[in-house]
């Protein structure tokens, strides 16, 4: 950076370093815990590993099969209400996958809601196939959005050249367009893989023994060291996926005119027919099931304090995350060492909630003043979702023209005044956006909340889980709908532009 400061650490470094080290605490704790464990790997473990990898593989495959064509359609095909279609197709992101799993599980199968309402016998949704279906339905938008962003950065003239040389539209899309967005697809696919690995609710409801589900079983038997061992194994896979993600580089092309395709009437109907089931299953079905339950059972059992608890804990997490994000983001801009520290805090995002929970329960037992306190739960949220805040804060801070600060300094402002009067007002937007994202992610977080919440502290997510476990499905309607609403707000925020860069992993 500035040569004059070449040897001096930027002011943000010490704080950022502390925060980065804090982000690594869960891993250290798990290693210590796992070292007590007798079983490193056994036959059941192998089955768990196989299930986890199969679920990941099939979910990624399904997401690519659905996501890439949808990306092509939303990017290039001219249909009425394009913006609306994009929002509808991205909307599954607004539904936590455990809600989807819960409602699909309740709707299908013998005696499920569909059979009760329509009298049609339905196959049940469970196991590997069921979990793959649910995870695909709720994670294909990752692939769709990253691929779409890559597609929009392409120049149409290559396709036009291919067309004049005699290729059909289909072949030119396949041979000229798709190879150039391979990195976009890969980025989305890796996000899907990460999401699938860390998801707890879906495998649990679909009764598929993946790492997350088995870790929860071990935790319930208080086999903490066994849970830690499994957590570390899961983290190795997560680390591998994160590593692959960091290798994905976008190729930059000179921007040009987008390709535009004009479908015939028949083609439009075909598209609707092919993709309507996706939306029906992922969005319409959960909302209808909740609606049915709401009408049948009313609002019984629901206490407004659950929503308040959710909001309260999430708000604290958002606040703390943004405060911690500021030094990290500034360190990341200041130099290479800072960027490394920032990378370390990203680790938490890859740590599944169930793993974070396991580690922090143990931390709590060692530090009784933290055990079963709101503080520990908030810490778990912060460690997990800090990268969301860092990303938002950094992207606005990067956009800040450094000459403005220099000008202020030249005019006699102290570094502190320059920060307060120039940097802060110009980056507040990113902070608010980052805080909102942390807030909404914390609202829908389930496993860590189950493990770490204070006694008597029921949130929307934990209440939903409790009625699921007790079999009082009808009572899930209100918390379920509220969670969907909250997540929808988060999605709106993402699509509103602040977060576009987050999905466009391939480049700025």
Q: Distance between CA 314 and CA 155 in Å, rounded?
A: 43
Per-position x/- string for 292-331, each x denoting binding to another protein as judged by CB under 8 A, each - no binding: ---------x------------------------------
Q: Tell me: does residue 217 bind another protein (CB under 8 A).
A: yes
Nearest to 23 by CA among 254, 360, 319: 360
Q: Tell me: does residue 223 bind another protein (CB under 8 A).
A: yes
Q: Distance between CA 305 and CA 477 in Å, rounded?
A: 16
φ/ψ (deg, to 5) at 261: -120, 140
Angle at 94 between CA 125 and CA 19, to 5 degrees: 110
| Contacts (CB under 8 A) with another protein, residues 115-144 | 124
Taking the complex as a whole, the smallest distance from the CB of residue 486 to another protein amounts, in Å, to 23
Q: What is the DSSP letter of 283?
A: I
Q: Assign residue 256 a region: left if phi > 0, alpha if psi is -120 to 50, beta otherwise? A: beta
What are the Cα distances from residue 134, in Å, to 30, 170, 241, 358, 446? 30, 30, 21, 25, 17
Taking CB under 8 A as the binding criterion, the range among 71-79, 105-113, 167-175, 278-286 that sits at the site for another protein is 105-113
Q: Assign residue 400 a region: left if phi > 0, alpha if psi is -120 to 50, beta otherwise? A: beta
Q: Tell me: does residue 167 bind another protein (CB under 8 A).
A: no
Nearest to 479 by CA among 309, 353, 282: 309
| Contacts (CB under 8 A) with another protein, residues 235-294 | none
Among 5, 57, 174, 222, binds another protein (CB under 8 A): 222
By CB under 8 A, how many residues form the interface with another protein? 31
Residues found in the chain: 508
Q: Tell me: does residue 108 bind another protein (CB under 8 A).
A: no
Type and span of the H or E element at 140? helix 127-152
Taking the complex as a whole, the smallest distance from the CB of residue 299 to another protein amounts, in Å, to 14
Nearest to 242 by CA among 234, 231, 230, 250: 234
Taking CB under 8 A as the binding criterion, the range among 71-79, 242-250, 342-350, 364-372 that sits at the site for another protein is 364-372
Q: Tell me: does residue 110 bind another protein (CB under 8 A).
A: yes
Closest CB to another protein among residues 125, 143 = 125
Q: Distance between CA 442 and CA 482 in Å, rounded?
A: 14
Taking the complex as a whole, the smallest distance from the CB of residue 501 to another protein amounts, in Å, to 40
| Contacts (CB under 8 A) with another protein, residues 434-473 | 455-456, 466, 468-472
Among 82, 207, 247, 500, binds another protein (CB under 8 A): 207
Nearest to 237 by CA among 215, 262, 207, 261: 215
Taking the complex as a whole, the smallest distance from the CB of residue 49 to another protein amounts, in Å, to 13
Position of tokens 């500021």?
A: 326
Distance, C-alpha 314 to centroid of its chain:
16
Helix axes of 374-398 and 12-34: crossing angle, nearest 10 degrees:
140
Taking the complex as a whole, the smallest distance from the CB of residue 469 to another protein amounts, in Å, to 5
Q: Distance between CA 438 and CA 317 in Å, rounded?
A: 7
Among 2, 220, 251, 267, binds another protein (CB under 8 A): 220
Closest CB to another protein among residues 140, 200 = 200
Closest CB to another protein among residues 280, 365 = 365
| Contacts (CB under 8 A) with another protein, residues 15-54 | 42-44, 47
Taking the complex as a whole, the smallest distance from the CB of residue 237 to another protein amounts, in Å, to 20
Q: Tell me: does residue 365 bind another protein (CB under 8 A).
A: yes
Taking CB under 8 A as the binding criterion, the range among 9-17, 310-318, 361-369, 483-491 that sits at the site for another protein is 361-369
Q: Tell me: does residue 415 bind another protein (CB under 8 A).
A: no
What are the Cα distances from residue 172, in Å, to 36, 66, 88, 426, 466? 58, 19, 28, 44, 52
Residue 371, SS3 per DSSP? coil
Q: Tell me: does residue 209 bind another protein (CB under 8 A).
A: yes
Taking CB under 8 A as the binding criterion, the range among 75-83, 171-179, 212-220, 234-242 that sits at the site for another protein is 212-220
Residues forming beta bridges with residue 261, ordered by sequence position: 77
Closest CB to another protein among residues 401, 469 = 469
Closest CB to another protein among residues 6, 456 = 456
Residues near another protein, by CB under 8 A? 42-44, 47, 109-111, 124, 207, 209, 217, 219-224, 301, 365-366, 368, 371-372, 455-456, 466, 468-472
């Amino acid at each position: 950076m500035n040569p004059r400061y070449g040897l001096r650490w930027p002011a943000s470094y010490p704080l950022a370093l502390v925060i980065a080290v804090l982000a690594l605490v869960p891993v250290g704790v798990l290693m210590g815990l796992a070292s007590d464990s007798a079983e490193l790997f056994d036959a059941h473990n192998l089955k768990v590993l196989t299930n986890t990898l199969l679920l990941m593989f099939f979910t990624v495959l399904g997401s690519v099969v659905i996501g890439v064509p949808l990306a092509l359609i939303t990017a290039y095909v001219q249909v009425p209400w394009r913006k609306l279609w994009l929002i509808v197709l991205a909307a599954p992101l607004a539904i936590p996958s455990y809600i989807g799993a819960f409602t699909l599980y309740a709707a299908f199968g013998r005696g499920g809601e569909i059979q009760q309402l329509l009298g049609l016998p339905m196959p049940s949704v469970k196991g590997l196939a069921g979990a793959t279906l649910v995870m695909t339905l709720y994670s294909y938008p990752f692939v769709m959005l990253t691929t779409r962003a890559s597609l929009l950065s392409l120049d149409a003239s290559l396709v036009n050249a291919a067309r004049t040389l005699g290729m059909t539209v289909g072949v030119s899309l396949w041979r000229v367009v798709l190879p150039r967005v391979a990195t976009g697809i890969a980025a989305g696919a890796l996000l899907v893989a990460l999401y699938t690995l860390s998801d707890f609710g879906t495998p649990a409801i679909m009764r598929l023994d993946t790492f997350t589900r088995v870790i929860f079983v071990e935790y319930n038997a208080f086999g903490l060291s066994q849970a830690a061992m499994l957590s570390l194994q899961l983290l190795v896979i997560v680390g591998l996926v994160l590593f692959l993600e960091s290798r994905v580089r976008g190729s930059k092309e000179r921007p040009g005119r987008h390709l535009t395709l004009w479908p015939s009437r028949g083609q439009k109907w075909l598209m609707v027919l092919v993709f309507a089931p996706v939306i029906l299953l992922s969005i319409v079905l959960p909302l209808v099931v909740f609606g049915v339950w709401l009408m049948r059972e009313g609002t019984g059992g629901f206490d407004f304090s659950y929503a308040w608890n959710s909001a309260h804990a999430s708000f604290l997490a958002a606040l703390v995350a943004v405060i911690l994000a500021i030094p990290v983001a500034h360190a990341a801009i200041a130099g290479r060492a800072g960027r490394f520290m920032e990378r370390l805090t990203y680790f938490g995002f890859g740590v599944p909630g169930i793993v974070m929970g396991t580690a922090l329960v143990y931390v709590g037992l060692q530090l009784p003043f933290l055990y079963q306190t709101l503080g520990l739960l908030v810490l778990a949220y912060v460690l997990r979702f800090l990268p969301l805040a860092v990303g938002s804060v950094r992207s606005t801070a990067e956009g800040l023209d450094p000459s403005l600060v220099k000008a202020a300094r030249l005019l006699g402002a102290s570094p502190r005044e320059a920060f307060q009067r120039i940097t802060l007002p110009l980056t507040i937007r990113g902070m608010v956006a980052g805080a909102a994202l942390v807030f909404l992610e914390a609202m829908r977080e389930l496993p860590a909340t189950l493990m770490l919440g204070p006694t008597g502290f029921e949130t929307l997510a934990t209440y939903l889980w409790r009625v699921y476990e007790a079999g009082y499905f009808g009572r899930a309607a209100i918390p379920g709908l509220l969670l969907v609403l909250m997540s929808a707000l988060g999605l709106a925020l993402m699509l509103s532009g602040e977060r576009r860069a987050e999905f466009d992993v391939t480049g700025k």
